[in-house]
Structure 1
Amino acid sequence: MALKATIYKADLNIANMDVHQYGDYQLTMALHPSETIERLMVRILAFARYADEALEFTKDLFETDEPALWEKDLTGQLIKWIEVGCPDEDKVKKASSRCKQVAIIAYGSSVDEWYKRNSKIKTLNNVEVWQLSPASTEAIQALCERTMQLQLNVMDGEWTLIGDQAQAQIEWTQLQ
């Protein structure tokens, strides 16, 4: 019998004083049986970085030709393509030709090596790459619950994600 996805829900309140973005989002995510809690929480941070009512989680690991998140316009045309992890270079190149904006939220110990190895990504003008520090991804795992109440505060470039039991400082590095 195949393992089924586990559903997680997060009420995310964002107060980004740097760009004057404020909002409440009710997120529902499926945790694929092969996915880690770390990756699930990184998907929440990816949502928070590009938060928009039209931004949605995809089937991602269930469908290999989909990103972690995407945004479509009213006609169904892709606008944003957001990958989590260290995606295949060809997948990113294909997404770049289909969308106005492509973003990669990279994390883990192999990010530097992955970025050096995938030189074609550096030539794509509509692709941005963000790296999360290992300390950040370690800290956000403590915030994970099946039903989460999360508050994200952003001020002067400093991100703080607050949960019921703990909080995490989020450190981003823009690689591209």
Structure 2
Amino acid sequence: MALKATIYKADLNIADMDHHNYGDYQLTMALHPSETIERLMVRVLAFARYADEQLEFTKDLFEVNEPALWQKDLTGLLEKWIEVGCPDEDKVKKASARCQQVAVIAYGSSVEEWYKRSSKLKTLKNVEVWQLSEATTTAIQALCERTMQLQLNIMDGEWTLMSDAGQAVVEWIKLQ
């Protein structure tokens, strides 16, 4: 018998004072049995970075041809493709040919090595690559609960994610 996904819900309030963007989002995410809490919370940050009402979580680990998140226009055409982790560069290249914007949110101890080996990524003009610091991914895991109330404040380039369980400073490093 296959293990089932665990459902997590997050009410995410974003106050981006740098860009005057404010929004409330009700997120429902499935935690795949092989997925870690760290990756689940990185997906929340990936959503927050590109927050939009049309942005949605995909089947991701259940379906290898899908990213962690995507956004489609009203006709169903892909606009944004957002990968989490250190994906295969051929998958990212294929996505860049299909979408206006592709992003990779990389995390973990092997990011620098992965990025050095990913020479194809550097040639793609519509691909952004962001790295989350290990301090960030450690801190955001402590905020995870099955039902979360999260507040993200962005001011002067500083990101702070807060919940009743505490807060985490989010450190982004732009690789591309």
TM-score for both structures, normalised by structure 2? 1.00
User: Which amino acid letter does the alignment assign opposite residue 54 of structure 1?
Assistant: Q
**Alpha-carbon distance in 2 for matches of 1:15, 1:46:** 15
The residue identity in structure 1 corresponding to 2:136 is S
Which residue is equivalent to 1:88?
Answer: 88
The 3-state SS of whatever aligns with 1:30 is strand
Q: Distance in 2 between matches of 1:105 and 1:113?
A: 15
Counterparts of 2:113 and 2:3 in 1: how far apart (Å)? 32
Matches within 5 A, 1:65-144: 65-144=65-144
Residue of structure 2 equivalent to 1:146: 146
Cα distance between partner residues in 1 of 2:8 and 2:55: 17
Structure 2 CA distance for aligned equivalents of residues 119 and 21 of structure 1: 34
Q: 1:33 is matched by which residue type in structure 2?
A: P
- The residue number in structure 1 matching 2:11 is 11
2:175 is matched with 175
Q: Does 1:161 align with 2:161?
A: yes
- Residue type matched to 1:37 in 2? I
Please tell me the residue identity of whatever aligns with 1:46: A
Amino acid at match of 2:108: G
Aligned length: 176
**Alpha-carbon RMSD:** 0.3
Tell me the distance in 1 between the aligned counterparts of 2:105 and 2:31. Answer: 18
Shift of 1:165: 1.3
1:113-145 CA distance string (max 9 Å, x none): 000001000000000000000000000000000
1:43-100: CA deviation from partner (whole Å, max 9, x where unpaired): 0000000000000000000000000000000000000000000000100000000000
1:31 pairs with 2:31: yes
Secondary structure of 1:86 counterpart: coil
| Partner Cα distance (1:31, 1:147) in 2 | 13
Using the alignment, how far apart are the partners of 1:118 and 1:51 within structure 2?
Answer: 27
Consecutive unaligned residues of structure 2, counting only runs of 5 or more, are none
Q: What TM-score does the superposition give when structure 1 sets the normalisation length?
A: 1.00
- Alignment partner of 1:22 is 2:8: no
Name the counterpart of 2:56.
56
* Partner-residue secondary structure (3-state), 1:12: strand
Q: Deviations over 1:19-49 (max 9, x none)?
A: 1110000000000000000000000000000
